[in-house]
Copies of this chain bind each other. A is one copy, B any other.
Amino acid sequence: MSKKIVVIGGVAGGASAAARVRRLDEQAEIVMFERGPFVSFSNCCLPFHLSETIENADDLVLMTPEQFKKQYNIIAKVQHEVIRIDKEAKAVFVRNVHTLEESTEFYDELVLSPGAKAIMPESIKGIESQHVFSVRNVPDIDQIKRYIDEKKVENVTVVGGGFIGLEVAENLQMAGKKVTLIEAANQVMTPFDHDMAQILHKEIMDHTVDLILEDRLVEIKADEVVLGSGKAIPTQAVVMAIGVVPETELAVASGLKLGKTGAIKVNHHYQTSDPNIYAVGDAIEVTHQQTGKVTQLTMAGPAQRQARAAADHIYGRTYRNHGVIGSSVVRVFGMNAACTGLNEKQCQEESLDYRTSYVIPKDKVGLMPGARPIFFKLIYAYPSGKILGAQCIGEGNVDKRVDVIATMIRFNGNLEDLKELELCYSPDYGTAKDAVNMAALVGLNVLNGEYKQVPVTEIRGLVESGAFIIDGREEGEYIEGHIKGAVNIPMSQFRERLNEIPKDRPVYVHCLSSQRSYNMVRALGMLGYKHVYNLMGSFLGLSMYEYFTDQVEAREPIVTNYRFDLL
């Protein structure tokens, strides 16, 4: 007897589950219901239609129901909403959203992949207006694009600085719109720590997007939005991207259990509280590999793996479920920004003892044309050195560095392993000692107590308190821009100028990217200086961290002159 599999939801999770079932069972009867007009579209590509990077909205649809039938012998019914599940009878009740006609479909196994929906807070006045949009599917993005084009909209407000918000803002800016990006927190992209997010803030601001942090949308009017601060921003269209909530109505109505986070609870094999009903994708809660806690993760990669695992389990296959670590990458104008594992905030929430390395090497050999700095932050456990996470931002290949760390996390790698990792090298692709190796070396010095350092977040305080700061760069570099009050003692001179360096108070050393200051810190330590610290990130890191806040707060910079042309 062949099985009958019903799938609810026809995008990443649902379509993957259906296709995988077909590969496992050529005889299975597979029916997939999708409430919307399309199955198998590329959610992740939606924002790119706004800039016409993807010209036609139609291209976002990867497969039609006809193709599902022909290629996979899967019956895909769009604009069919499942309104009720009868777990005892193993039946779903379906309504054609056009004709309102209802029908019943029986199943042996049911896979739920209902996804998540945009949060549209009713507390915001005017949220129901015609010119307020969200980005969840092809009709959404098509509608925004048409509206903006037809109404010749010039000013768009994007609310929310996560993946979708940033991608929408960027693509609208590329389309020539004046974009305001509003984020309630003090940073965009919460998977990154605040220090790293400052690099993104600078990049966003440099591309003429008006970035407003720590403010909230209160009211949407016809031609402006009003913020909590009272600020009014002229705008003819609003895109809401403050987050999503799992679509759980059907699950709840059917008596399936939700988890702590409010998403559908599943076991190791993605079975819900009813063993014949599986759930995958944005609507479920998943377990974090490193913290062991449940969380929500709205990402395509994990959704596809979950779908495959569910299908496999239907056919009696075991699955080793390791949980998720949350690897991701996003383009923010000229910058690529990737991260994986735990960030500092998460480590603190978990009360983990951790340390960080912050290195800013070039992404390839400095001699090669186009070599650019990458800002790489590594987070590791103290004192074990176990790798916990990484964040990397730069114009070059940051994703490969973070993929390596993601792989290490999977295997519980530590700093010793990372230091020795033998990666692909030639001058156009990296450096013989890659950024990830360097970060490990710095980390080992920290673990071994051979190296003390001050995070970029604390440098302003030191400067303001008149700490003794040594700038180890050459005089010409110093003159063009330096930390106010820093004493210029180049690495090439410090051994002859030890008399200028006090032994009775802490000494803080930096250079451009910490390569020279690293050597100076080590040497001074051996020369009897007991309290020598490296300023993490040095002049590059400090500049990236401070610049944005200086601008938005019209604050006095702690340097005489920023020199971003040195990057």
Minimum C-beta distance from A226 to chain B (A)? 33
- Select which of B60, B331, B423, B526 is within 8 A of A327 by beta carbon: B423
Query: Contact mask A401-412 → B, CB, 8 Å, 1/0?
Result: 011101110110
Point out the residues of chain B lying under 8 angstroms from A25, CB to CB: 526
A119 within 8 A of B: no
Point out the residues of chain B lying under 8 angstroms from A328, CB to CB: 424-426
Which one of A233-241, A261-269, A491-499, A546-554 contacts B? A491-499
Interface pair A425/B299, CB less than 8 Å apart: yes
Interface pair B527/A48, CB less than 8 Å apart: no
A325 within 8 A of B: yes
A124 within 8 A of B: no
Q: Which residue of B lies closest to A328 (CB)?
A: B424
- Select which of B304, B340, B410, B413 is within 8 A of A432 by beta carbon: B304
Point out the residues of chain B lying under 8 angstroms from A424, CB to CB: 327-329, 338-340, 399, 402-403, 406
Which one of A67-75, A349-357, A452-460, A478-486 contacts B? A67-75
Point out the residues of chain B lying under 8 angstroms from A44, CB to CB: 365, 425-427, 432
A284 within 8 A of B: no
Query: Contact mask A17-51 → B, CB, 8 Å, 1/0?
Result: 00100110111000000000000001011001000
Interface pair A523/B22, CB less than 8 Å apart: yes
A136 within 8 A of B: no
A276 within 8 A of B: no
Interface pair A301/B433, CB less than 8 Å apart: yes
Considering the chains assembled together, what is the distance between the CA atoms of A325 and B424 in angstroms? 10
A129 within 8 A of B: no
Point out the residues of chain B lying under 8 angstroms from A274, CB to CB: none
Q: Which residue of B lies closest to A492 (CB)?
A: B70
Number of interface residues of A (CB under 8 A): 85
Considering the chains assembled together, what is the distance between the CA atoms of A369 and B368 in angstroms? 26
Q: Which residue of B lies closest to A66 (CB)?
A: B492
Query: Contact mask A56-83 → B, CB, 8 Å, 1/0?
Result: 0001100000010011110000000000
Interface centre among A44, A340, A527 (most CB of B within 10 A): A44
- Select which of B54, B400, B427 is within 8 A of A42 by beta carbon: B427
Interface pair B71/A432, CB less than 8 Å apart: no
- Select which of B48, B71, B413 is within 8 A of A516 by beta carbon: B71
A12 within 8 A of B: yes
Interface pair B416/A413, CB less than 8 Å apart: no
Q: Which residue of B lies closest to A317 (CB)?
A: B448
A302 within 8 A of B: yes
Contact residues of A between 361 and 381, Cβ < 8 Å to B: 365, 367-369
Q: Which residue of B lies closest to A320 (CB)?
A: B416
Point out the residues of chain B lying under 8 angstroms from A67, CB to CB: 492
Considering the chains assembled together, what is the distance between the CA atoms of A433 and B429 in angstroms? 24
Point out the residues of chain B lying under 8 angstroms from A369, CB to CB: 53
- Select which of B299, B300, B368, B522 is within 8 A of A45 by beta carbon: B368
Interface pair A42/B327, CB less than 8 Å apart: no
Point out the residues of chain B lying under 8 angstroms from A501, CB to CB: none
Interface pair B53/A399, CB less than 8 Å apart: no
Interface pair B26/A527, CB less than 8 Å apart: yes
Nearest first, the 6 A-B pairs at minimum CB distance are A400-B400, A26-B526, A70-B492, A329-B424, A300-B432, A411-B411
A–B Cβ pairs within 8 angstroms, 8 of them: A42-B367, A44-B427, A45-B427, A53-B368, A324-B422, A328-B424, A331-B426, A408-B411
New A-B contacts (9) at CB < 8 Å, excluding given A42-B427, A305-B433, A399-B424 = A45-B365, A48-B367, A53-B369, A70-B492, A301-B434, A304-B433, A320-B420, A329-B426, A336-B429
